[in-house]
Amino acid sequence: MQPSAQPRAWLDVVASAKTTTEDKPEAMEEILILAKDKQRARIFLEEGILDSIMWIIDRYREKLGRNAAWDDWAHPTITPEETKAAKLAASCCLTLGKSHCAAIHTEGDLLLM
């Protein structure tokens, strides 16, 4: 696989409904590594990775605040993989934000020169 295709491939893994909860933490770890690069972070953001990342975090928070009505869920308990994926998703949000900020500042500096 070409290096330029890696961000989109990992995004597909995270965004896919067929990805198991065991596979999401691995994908999030790879995204966390790739997101430290400004150009790759831009690809992730342009492709809409925040939707998938926020869904992981949202789902985790819903399970944390569940009540008796949540017992109807197929998997109402929080697995260690879900906890790990949610923590990695939060870290990815921070890393993507830092990379985006760095990219914007770099562009601004180049415009000023």
Q: What is the pLDDT of residues 28-86, one digit of tens each?
A: 888 888 888 888 888 888 888 888 889 889 888 888 876 555 566 666 778 888 889 89
Contacts 24+ apart (CB under 8 A), 7-10: 7/31, 7/34, 7/40, 7/43, 7/44, 7/47, 8/43, 8/47, 10/34
Cα-to-chain-centroid distance, residue 113: 34
- pLDDT at 107 > cutoff 90: no
pLDDT at 44: 84
pLDDT at 82: 85
- pLDDT at 91 > cutoff 90: yes
- When pLDDT is cut at 50, 70 and 90, the band that residue 90 belongs to is very high
Sign of the torsion formed by the C-alpha atoms of 34, 49, 82 and 2: negative
Distance CA 104, CA 98 (A): 10
- pLDDT at 2 > cutoff 60: no
